[in-house]
Amino acid sequence: MIMAGLYPAYPRQTLTALQTLAGKETQRYMRIWVQTLVPPAITMTLYFVIFGGLIGSRVGPMEGYSFMEFIAPGIIMMAVITNSYSNVATSFFGAKFQRHIEELLVSPTPNYVILAGYVAGGVGRGLCTGLIVTIIASFFADLNIHNLPVTISVVFLTAVLFSLGGFINGVFAKKFDDISIVPTFILTPLTYLGGVFYSISLLPEFWQHVSLINPIFYMVNAFRYGVLGSSDIPIGIAYILIIGFIVAGTVLSLWLLDRGTGLRS
């Protein structure tokens, strides 16, 4: 069993380790910003042009808002979710593949610091992408923030949650192809069915109940409430689910690190 994280750590050394690891993860995606930040911006711009401009003009208003205003929060959340997830998944698996993660794990760095460093990188990339998409959205829709604390807290917590998800994916991945399985077959369908382009009130009763099983549906609606003041679900339930998943993801990630899962040859 890998014994990392069991050594005593002093607060100053722990903070230095966290800053170093988080800084490395930040420099990683900023150094190749053309590959990490530009493509999502282009993709989301196409969503606004095609769904908002071309299709939206035929759909008409949604929940009292123009279709472009309605889908803008969901598209922003799509960018935050996918980039937070993919950043940590690819980074941690890359460390495994290049076999320099062992040096970190056998150092006096506590496991929670290792996890926090990778999550910080994912959150940073997710928020940067979300900010870029928000700026782009402002050219297509008139966005007036309804509740700033809700908007900031929901997008931050969501970025943390999917950074943890990317970390877990990176732990279990055995080859580079495994990194794309979860986003392709799970994350993308859940995102598209999470109320990004429609209100749950438009669905038949059966599919409304099915939508309530999708956790991303709650995150999109909570963020939409923060931006527009409109939501299909109670905001309190969304916070409970997001925080609950974060706690579960943190516990699982630390347990996997402690066991050395996916790190043995």
**Cα-Cα-Cα-Cα dihedral of 134, 135, 140, 145, to 10°?**
60
d(CA 194, CA 51): 16
Query: Across residues 148-166, what is the average pLDDT?
Result: 97
9 pLDDT more than 70? no
Q: Which long-range contacts (CB under 8 A, 24 or more apart) does 140-145 make?
A: 140/48, 140/52, 140/53, 140/68, 140/72, 141/48, 141/52, 141/66, 141/68, 141/69, 141/72, 142/69, 143/69, 143/72, 143/227, 143/228, 145/226, 145/227
Q: Assess contact for 264 and 101: CB atoms under 8 A.
A: no
Question: Please, where are the H alpha helices in 138-234?
Answer: 148-172, 176-182, 188-192, 205-211, 215-228
Report the pLDDT value the prediction gives residue 11, as an integer from 0 to 100: 79
pLDDT digits (tens, 9 = 90+) for 116-156: 999 999 999 999 999 999 999 998 888 889 999 999 999 99
Q: How far apart are CA 88 and CA 27, in angstroms?
A: 13
Cα 191 vs. chain centroid, distance in angstroms?
Answer: 11
For the record, the structure tokens of 145 come out as: 């923030």
pLDDT higher than threshold 90 for residue 16: no
- The model's pLDDT over 100-111, given as tens digits with 9 standing for 90+, comes to 888 887 888 899
pTM: 0.90
